[in-house]
Structure 1
Amino acid sequence: MREVDFESFVDAWALGALVVDVREGYEFEQAHVPGALWIPLGELASRSAEVPEADVVYVICASGNRSLFGADILAGAGRHAVSVAGGTGEWLRSGRPGERGGGR
């Protein structure tokens, strides 16, 4: 499974799932899923060792396009990674809380 539907992600997040946000710093600073680890897509291949071990790594971006590439990068590094359909945009549109700050 390369992509997970939004509601499955919400359930996993509530149980403490590992979330990696691959958007640019200014996007991450504006709002992100609480607890997300920020590694921009352009740096993910060289920084994949920074991603903690987890059964599943949920990769998120704004809408689900860049996160597909991010999940592929992490899969190439031997991780079970999935892209979150709908991304951070869906998270915020659904009324869930967003954190601010943290980007460079």
Structure 2
Amino acid sequence: MTPRPYLDITPTQLATLAPGTRLIDVREPDEFTGPLGHLPGAELVPLGTLEATLGGWARQAPLLLICRSGGRSEQAARMLARSGFRHLYNLAGGMLAVRATPVAQPQG
């Protein structure tokens, strides 16, 4: 069995990503601004435009791929791996998982 060319991470692991990791949201514009919202600092690059957009991207830069449920971001990660990217992360469960994950409430 061939290993996946990316690593799945959960919403609780987002804070462990290396500084400078680019957040690439592959949903459509109406989803990016819709009820699920998007992660702070995320760049909107719809999946259908990804291949045309990635030409100037550094192949060694770490990238986190994000979508609604994790399926399109997995497709994006596989596409990027075929294009020579090596530090790829897929947000498992996508923005649905992010919104379902309880956030620690400040004490006091």
Interval containing the TM-score (normalised by the shorter chain): 0.7 to 0.9
Q: What residue number does 1:22 align with?
A: 26
- Find the structure with the greater CA-based Rg: 2
Whether the 8 Å CA contact 1:32–1:88 is kept in 2: the answer is yes
Decide which of 62, 66, 87 is 2:68's aligned counterpart: 62
What do the CA deviations read for 1:52-79 (whole angstroms, capped 9, x no partner)? 5654211010111001110011112211
Written as runs of structure 1 = structure 2, the 5 A alignment for 1:89-100 is 89-95=96-102
Alignment RMSD:
2.1
Deviates more, 1:30-39 or 1:82-91: 82-91
Normalised by the length of structure 2, the TM-score is 0.74
What runs of 5+ residues in structure 1 fail to find an aligned partner? 97-104
Q: What residue number does 2:106 align with?
A: none
Q: How many matched pairs? A: 95
Which secondary structure state, in structure 2, belongs to the residue aligned with residue 43 of structure 1?
Answer: helix
Normalised by the length of structure 1, the TM-score is 0.76
Tell whether 2:9 aligns with 1:9.
no
Tell whether 2:88 aligns with 1:84.
no
Whether the 8 Å CA contact 2:20–2:62 is kept in 1: the answer is no
Whether the 8 Å CA contact 2:25–2:43 is kept in 1: the answer is yes
Q: Which has the higher helix share?
A: 1
Identity of aligned residues (%): 29
What runs of 5+ residues in structure 2 fail to find an aligned partner? 104-108
The structural deviation recorded for 1:49 is 2.5
